[in-house]
Amino acid sequence: MDKFVEVYAAADITFAYLVKAQLEDAGIPVQIANENVSAVYCLDGMVPRVLVPASYGKQAREIIAEIQRSAQDNAEDVDGLLDEDDELDDENVEP
């Protein structure tokens, strides 16, 4: 049996579960360490850790990198929309 290795340290449990779901959809077995840690302990470095069997490590990291790229792209899209809203607001202001 493969040893489980850490492929991601999540900022919070919600994101750890999102990563877990994506990895499981790809057929990768996943465990979450520090799953029951409260937000207070996250400040001390005890964050939820996503673990997979060592033989799946590379594949899991590639999937996680794609998730992160997608999240950044979406954040940039939202920023662009907010900028457009500001421009529209400026146009609708009466002198």
Tell me, what's the pLDDT at 72? 77
84 pLDDT band, cuts 50/70/90, is: low
- What's the distance, Cα to Cα, between the start and end of the chain in Å? 72
Q: Token pair of 19, please?
A: 């990563």
Q: CA 62, 66, 72, 76 torsion: positive or negative?
A: positive
Share of the chain above pLDDT 90, in %: 45
Domain assignment of residue 50, given as a range = 4-91
Tell me, what's the pLDDT at 71? 78
pLDDT at 42 over 80: no
pLDDT at 74 over 60: yes
Tell me, what's the pLDDT at 69? 86
Number of domains comprising the chain: 1
pTM comes to: 0.70
Q: What is the CATH number of the domain that holds 76?
A: 3.30.70
